[in-house]
Chains A and B, each alone.
Chain A
């Protein structure tokens, strides 16, 4: 099932703009391999779930997957074939706001080949360009 918050303060939120690069959540925190966003965008809870399933099917038992993003933001939509007006639409989906540099997923305990192939499958499902991150000496 798609990810969403358990409790929220407001049912609907304004759209907002994604400005600048990520200054937090842009380094590896748990694993040895990571998938880092190179473009701004939003990822729906369904997409995150699809990525999780694709990754788990591939690394099955070989490593541990960490999901570093969560869909906190509600997006509303209007029903089909309705006229404009009558107020804001109802919540339709939940999205994670992603800035360039955000680490989306991490894998620990997997080999380089396994992590690369796994993240290649995940990258196909994502709506933005991403790159593979590796924990290396002398960086963070």
Chain B
């Protein structure tokens, strides 16, 4: 039995923005599933079923439609402007041992000694693009910063990835670092005087032509 959550959907034949809007009002979320060179299917799924799965960080679901169950990767989730509800979901058909490319959330845990010394913990990347088999896809990647001192950094190469997982980011890329707080530079008097009005592109050429 798979650990992946089950998502049951109904096939939908009526497409378009107005139908989708009415569907969302009725508590359904429109979506589509594609991949494996099979036909793309438009479906509707209950918001009460889908939202907990998205909130839990699961990327792979057991997708049931018309009585058949497929493994599917949550490929894309569209939110409304204020990120209050899901507008549409894209699923990709996958096999259990197939390698997929997706992004996994990076979660920073612990209190860094550098922060206690007055530094600022800056997280450069909040998601890590990874490529791995579907069955090994992690929900999140946890980075512990309990040993991170002032000026120290955790690079992509320092992140422990599950077996068979690779990332497309270069290994020397900084993910999290602790930096000293910087003071804002004082504005230069000459700069203030010279920048009362911005330079107009092509203004001199026009004057010379005249």
Given contacts A61-B181, A138-B55, is CB(A6)–CB(B195) below 8 Å? yes
Interface range on chain A: under 10, 10 to 19, 20 to 34, or 35 or more? 20 to 34
Q: A7-B200, A109-B120, A137-B140 are in contact. List 10 more A-B contacts (CB 8 A).
A: A7-B198, A8-B198, A23-B81, A32-B123, A61-B118, A101-B81, A108-B121, A108-B122, A109-B115, A139-B79
Tell me whether B19 is interfacial, beta carbon within 8 Å.
Answer: no
Tell me whether B56 is interfacial, beta carbon within 8 Å.
Answer: yes
Q: Could you list which residues of chain B lie within 8 angstroms of chain A, going by C-beta atoms?
A: 54-57, 77, 79, 81-83, 105, 115, 118, 120-123, 126, 140, 181, 184, 187, 192, 195, 197-202
CB distance from B200 to the nearest CB of A (A): 6
Report whether over half of chain A's contact residues are helix, strand or loop; otherwise say mixed.
Answer: loop
Which residue of chain B has the shortest Cβ distance to A52 in the bound complex?
B184
Contact of A11 with B200 in the complex, beta carbons under 8 Å:
yes
CB distance from A22 to the nearest CB of B (A): 6
Partner of A100, one of B77, B81, B122, B202: B81
Tell me whether A69 is interfacial, beta carbon within 8 Å.
Answer: no
CB distance from B126 to the nearest CB of A (A): 7
Contact of A64 with B122 in the complex, beta carbons under 8 Å:
yes
How far apart are the CA atoms of A61 and B123 in the complex, in Å? 16
Contact of A138 with B57 in the complex, beta carbons under 8 Å:
yes
Contact of A140 with B201 in the complex, beta carbons under 8 Å:
no
Q: Could you list which residues of chain A lie within 8 angstroms of chain B, going by C-beta atoms?
A: 1, 4-11, 21-23, 26-27, 32, 36, 38, 56, 60-64, 91, 100-101, 108-109, 133, 135, 137-140
Contact of B121 with A109 in the complex, beta carbons under 8 Å:
yes
CB distance from B172 to the nearest CB of A (A): 21
CB distance from A73 to the nearest CB of B (A): 12
Contact of A9 with B201 in the complex, beta carbons under 8 Å:
yes
Interfacial chain B residues near A100, Cβ < 8 Å: 81-82
How far apart are the CA atoms of A46 and B200 in the complex, in Å? 21
Interfacial chain B residues near A135, Cβ < 8 Å: 126
How far apart are the CA atoms of A109 and B123 in the complex, in Å? 8
CB distance from B56 to the nearest CB of A (A): 7
How far apart are the CA atoms of A59 and B31 in the complex, in Å? 42
How far apart are the CA atoms of A118 and B140 in the complex, in Å? 30
Contact of A108 with B82 in the complex, beta carbons under 8 Å:
no
How far apart are the CA atoms of A103 and B99 in the complex, in Å? 35
Contact of A140 with B83 in the complex, beta carbons under 8 Å:
yes
Partner of A7, one of B83, B120, B199: B199
Which interface residue of B55, B56, B198, B202 has the most chain A CB atoms within 10 A? B198
How far apart are the CA atoms of A37 and B122 in the complex, in Å? 24
**A-B contact list, 24 entries, CB within 8 Å:** A1-B187, A1-B192, A4-B195, A4-B198, A5-B198, A7-B199, A7-B201, A8-B200, A9-B200, A9-B202, A11-B197, A22-B81, A60-B181, A61-B120, A64-B120, A100-B81, A101-B81, A108-B121, A109-B122, A133-B83, A137-B105, A138-B54, A139-B83, A140-B83
